């Protein structure tokens, strides 16, 4: 039983080790030997689950975005309650996963660094994460307007405007986090307050 459990856990352990190696060295410089050493296995074991380094990289990326996809799917379900609270819950999740968490920042950095090598990677990120996120925010905007909570604004057509502070914070922390730290809690609170004042009829 213990051996079976260990076998079932192994793909996740490989993906965890692969993420750290890809984040540290980038795709080109990462060797499967190093991934195996970090995971405490032989390189041959990696090939049992992943045919090559490219598939391992794509699988690592898919595993990293899975919680965000699940969250977005939940957000697109029939909205209930104040629309502003739905947006607040969404952005609290996004800040925790994509900005405060180093792994989220590294994922964005890897996406930008490796998109040229993997033409389909940016497209997949759009189709699986960004596109559904924008669609979800449009749904919430329309819901808020219909219930008289939100005023009509450009954010209905361009929800990207609502999301851009997240990318700014992630980029800032990646580039300047050590020398020019950002009060992320204060920043996120200011973002949410800005949403209230911008979107709400009585903001």
Residue 9 within any structural domain of the chain? yes
Same domain, yes or no: 35 and 98? no
Domain that includes residue 44, residue range: 1-50
Say what the pLDDT of residue 195 is.
94
Confidence of residue 203 (pLDDT cuts 50, 70, 90): low
Is 77 domain-assigned?
A: yes
pLDDT at 169: 97
Number of structural domains in the chain: 2
Write the pLDDT tens digit of every residue in 33-88. Answer: 999 999 999 999 999 999 999 899 989 988 888 888 888 778 777 888 999 999 99
98 and 124 co-located in one domain:
yes
**Model's pTM, two decimal places?**
0.83
HEC sequence for the chain = CHHHHHHHHHHHHHHHHHHHHHHHHHHHHCCHHHHHHHHCCCHHHHHHHCCCHHHHHHHHHHHHHHHHHHHHHHHCCCCCCCHHHHHHHHHHHHHHHHHHCHHHHHHHHHHHHHCCCCHHHHHHHHHHHHHHHHHHHHHHHHHHHHCCCECCCHHHHCCHHHHHHHHHHHHHHHHHCCCCCCCHHHHHHHHHHHHHHHHECCC
Same domain flag for 110 and 190: yes
pLDDT digits (tens, 9 = 90+) for 163-179: 999 999 999 999 999 99
């Amino acid at each position: 039983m213990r051996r079976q459990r260990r076998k079932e856990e192994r793909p996740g352990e490989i993906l965890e080790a692969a993420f750290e190696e890809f984040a540290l060295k980038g795709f080109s410089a990462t060797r499967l030997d190093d991934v195996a050493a970090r995971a405490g296995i032989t390189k041959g074991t990696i090939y049992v689950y992943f045919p090559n380094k490219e598939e391992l990289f794509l699988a690592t990326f898919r595993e990293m975005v899975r919680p965000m996809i699940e969250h977005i799917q939940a957000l697109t379900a029939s909205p209930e309650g104040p629309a502003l609270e739905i947006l607040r819950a969404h952005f609290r999740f996004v800040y925790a996963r994509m900005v405060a968490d180093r792994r989220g920042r590294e994922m964005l950095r890897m996406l930008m660094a490796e998109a040229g090598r993997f033409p389909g990677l940016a497209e997949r990120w759009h189709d699986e994460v960004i596109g559904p996120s924008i669609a979800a925010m449009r749904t919430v905007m329309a819901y808020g307007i219909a219930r008289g909570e939100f005023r009509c604004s450009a954010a209905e057509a361009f929800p990207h405007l609502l999301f851009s502070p997240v990318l700014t914070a992630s980029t800032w922390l990646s580039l300047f986090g050590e020398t020019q730290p950002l009060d992320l809690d204060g920043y996120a609170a200011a973002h949410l307050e800005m949403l209230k004042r911008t979107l709400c009829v009585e903001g």
